[in-house]
Amino acid sequence: MKMNKITGLIVGTLTLVLVACQPIEKRDVLTNSFDPNDIQLAVVQSTTGGNELSIQMNTPGIAGYWDYVIDKKYSDRVEVIFPIPGTSTFTFHVTTPYIENGDIANPVYDITKSIDVTITQLDHALPEAYYKLVGENLEGKTWVFDGVGGDNGLWWYMSDPGKWSSVWWNAGGTCCPPADVSGRMVFDLDGGANFTYYASPTATAVTGSSFAFNADYTKLTIKGPANILGSMDGGGNSGVFEIKEFTADRLTLFVSNAAWSTGWTWTFKPQV
């Protein structure tokens, strides 16, 4: 019996459907996975015990970022002059999902791996910002407000969000200095990039915080339980401050998004 054109068309269509419905192997899933135990990390020091470091994640096919104490960077490699002597732990956070046992329905995202490095000598000069903030011999340095309440000085004031030096309300120099106006802040590199806060000359130290610069040293970040003097009253609670003036004798910080949709400016000096 001859097949007419309509019957042939139906059979051909069924054939195409059957071909299209063939199961697809999970080749992409299998090749997109990795074993966390096989992640290879390395820290290469240009000199024995030195502080010029190449921090490396050497396993192909994995993306993520390095947390190397003083900063974070989305890269498999970080080149840095590290400022902290002693032993530090660097951690690589994997952002590529781990497909355990090839089960695409249960990806794992919280994979990390760490490596320790010991620095016995700061044989490469640090960026100048560290010497200004911590001391010319990296001995640690104490900073206080560059003024006292009612002195009419510009050291803690509400400012234009677009211009740190444009004063809207000179709070510290006139009527209303912050509660911690007589306090102090200590920055040091004793085993970490440490920030210690004292609310007054007799107050107990608030420890456990750290500081970090951004890549071009135009911002200072404070992380942990404490923040800079006057931050609570000044609306700088994010802990990220733009650096506007910075010498060994003067530090001016600014936020453009204070609590009242204004800017806010702080100026500090070393404690004598």
Structure tokens at 144: 């206080």
What is the amino acid identity at position 220? L
Burial class (CB in 10 A: 0-12, 13-18, 19+), 36: middle
Question: Which letter, b or e, does each residue of 93-108 get, where b requires 16 or more Cβ atoms within 10 Å of its Cβ?
Answer: bbebebbeeeeeeeee
- Give 232's pLDDT tier (boundaries 50, 70, 90): confident
Q: Which two tokens stand for residue 12?
A: 């051909």
How do residues 86-139 score in pLDDT, each as one tens digit?
999 999 999 998 888 778 888 888 899 999 999 999 999 999 999 999 999 999
Q: How large is the C-alpha radius of gyration of the chain?
A: 28
Neighbours of 219 (CB within 10 A): 15
Convert the pLDDT of each residue in 191-230 to its tens digit.
889 999 999 999 999 999 999 999 899 999 999 999 999 9
Whether the model pTM is above 0.85: no
Domains of the chain, by residue range, sit at 25-119, 128-270
Helix (H, G, I), strand (E, B) or coil at 36: helix
pLDDT at 260: 82
Phi first, then psi: what are they for 100, rounded to 5°? -70, 130
CA-based nearest residue to 138, from 121, 156, 116, 117: 121
- pLDDT tens for 152-184 read 999 999 999 999 999 999 999 999 999 999 999
| 83 phi and psi angles, rounded to 5 deg | -95, 0
3-state secondary structure of 263: strand
Residue-wise pLDDT for 8-51, tens only, equals 443 444 344 434 444 444 444 444 578 888 999 999 999 999 99
The backbone torsions φ and ψ at residue 218, rounded to the nearest 5 degrees and listed phi first, read: -105, -5
C-beta of residue 265 within 8 angstroms of C-beta of residue 164: yes
Sign of CA dihedral 120, 125, 127, 130: positive
Confidence (pLDDT) at 99: 86
Quick one: 25-119 is in which CATH superfamily?
A: Immunoglobulins (2.60.40.10)
Residue 165: per-residue pLDDT? 97
Distance CA(88)–CA(69), nearest Å, equals 8
The owner of tokens 């199961």 is 23
Predicted confidence (pLDDT) at residue 240 exceeds the cutoff of 80: yes
Can you list the positions of beta strands (E) in 84-235? 86-94, 98-99, 107-108, 112-119, 141-145, 156-160, 163-169, 184-188, 194-198, 206-213, 219-223
- Measure the CA dihedral 236/242/245/248, to 10°: 80
What percent of the chain clears pLDDT 70, i.e. is strictly above it? Answer: 88
Question: What pLDDT does residue 32 have?
Answer: 58
* Main-chain phi, psi angles of 13, to 5 degrees: -65, -45
